[in-house]
Amino acid sequence: MITRRILLGFAIAVIGVGGLAGCGVVRHWRMHATLEKHRHLPPEQAKLCVAGGGFVANRGMFGSAVCAHQFADAGKVCSGKSDCFGRCIIREGVWGKADPKAGALMSGMCEADNATDGCYAVIEGGMVTGSECDD
């Protein structure tokens, strides 16, 4: 009698866990399908992007498609926004492990395009004004 109860309890537990695992697979598939949908711009938007001088790029943690426009001064050494078409920044990892403190004297580089992602410090007036992370 006790053995049957144990076996029945075990069988119910296995079926329940199997059912939950199946739900997880469905949820994972739905999330993957949603993320995959955002990896591409609709064809009309992609054509407009390229016609306007841009390019389609996958950016951010999930690789979402964006229309980006390259800046002519990308990578130029700068001391503030007035030196760049975009912003004057220092990318994460350039300064080492610790974020530079606001007020630290530094030069940066003009950002490459209008769709900068990741972490970076913003330079203005030859000093760090803060750090940002965009995704």
Q: How far apart are CA 135 and CA 22, in angstroms?
A: 31
Q: What average pLDDT does range 101-120 have in this prediction? A: 91
**DSSP summary character for residue 62:** T
| Residue-wise pLDDT tens digits, 42-97 | 999 999 999 999 999 998 888 899 999 999 999 999 999 999 999 999 987 666 65
Q: How far is CA 135 from CA 2, 81, 92, 105, 124, in A?
A: 56, 21, 14, 26, 22
Query: What per-residue confidence (pLDDT) applies to 22?
Result: 52
